[in-house]
Chains A and B, each alone.
Chain A
Amino acid sequence: MSDNFLYAPQAKQREHGAIASAVGLWCGLTLLATIVVHLLVVFALPSIGRGVQIDDIIPPGEAAPRLYTGLAGEALPSFRYDDGRTDSVYCSFDLRDGAVRVSGNLDVPFWSISVHTLSGLVVGSVNHNATSGGGLDLLVMRPALAVDLARAGAQLPRDSLVVEMDGPLGVVRISGLATYEALRSRLRQNLSQTECTLATFTFTNPNASDETDGSGTGTPDRSGPPQVPQPLPRPDALTPSQN
Chain B
Amino acid sequence: MARLSDDAQWIVMMGFVVSFSFFFLAMILNQSTVVGQTSAESVLDFPKNDIRDVRSVIIQSTSLVPVNITAAHGLILQNDIETISLMRKNAIVTYSVEWPAPPVTETFVNIHYNNGVTAYNETWQSL
Interaction A to B? no
